[in-house]
A = this chain, B = another copy of it.
Amino acid sequence: MSVEGNPGRRLLDEDRLFSSDPSQRSVARRLYAEIRDLPIVSPHGHTDPRWFADNEAFENPAKLFVTPDHYVFRMLYSQGIPLESLGVARRDGGPVESDPRKVWRLLAENYGLFRGTPSRLWLDHALSEVFGVQERLSAANADAVYDQVQACLDKPEYRPRALFDRFKIEVIATTESPLDPLESHARVRDSDWDGRVITAYRPDPVVDPEYEDFTANLEQLAEMTGETTSGWKGYLAALQQRRGFFAEMGATSTDHGHPSAATADLDPAACQSLLDRALSGAITAEDAELFRAQMLTEMARMSLEDGLVMQIHPGSFRSHNQKLMAGFGRDMGADIPTRTDYVRALRPLLSRFGNEPGLDVILFTLDETSYSRELAPLAGHYPILKLGPAWWFYDSPEGMLRYRRSVTETAGFYNTVGFNDDTRAFLSIPARHDVARRIDCAYLAELVCDHRLDEDEALEVAVDLTYNLVKKAYRL
Contacts and interface: CB of A to CB of B under 8 A. Distances in A.
Interface of A: 12-13, 15-21, 23-24, 74-75, 77-80, 112-118, 120-121, 136, 317, 320-324, 333-339, 341, 343-344, 347, 350-351, 354-355, 357, 366-369, 372-374, 376-383, 385, 393-394, 396-399, 405-406, 408-415, 442, 446-447, 449-454, 457, 460-461
B333 A121 contact: no
Contacts of A19: 450
A398 B409 contact: yes
A24 B21 CA distance: 9
B78 A383 contact: yes
A78 B113 contact: no
Contacts of A13: 451
Given A77-B381, A78-B411, A117-B410, 11 more contacts: A15-B450, A20-B21, A20-B449, A20-B450, A80-B357, A115-B413, A323-B354, A338-B344, A339-B369, A393-B409, A398-B405
A444 to B, nearest CB: 9
Contact of A78 (B77, B379, B442, B454): B379
A336 B16 contact: no
A450 B16 contact: yes
A415 B355 contact: no
Given A20-B24, A398-B405, A393 B368 contact: no
Sorted from nearest, which 6 A-B pairs have the closest CB atoms? A16-B451, A20-B449, A13-B451, A116-B408, A396-B409, A337-B373
B117 A412 contact: yes
Contact of A414 (B18, B79, B322, B408): B79
Contact of A117 (B115, B324, B409): B409
A12 B442 CA distance: 22
A322 B13 CA distance: 52
A347 B317 CA distance: 11
Nearest to A341: B339
Given A324-B355, A369-B368, A393-B409, A452 B116 contact: yes
Contacts of A112: 414, 457, 460
A320 B347 contact: yes
Contact of A337 (B320, B347, B377, B446): B377
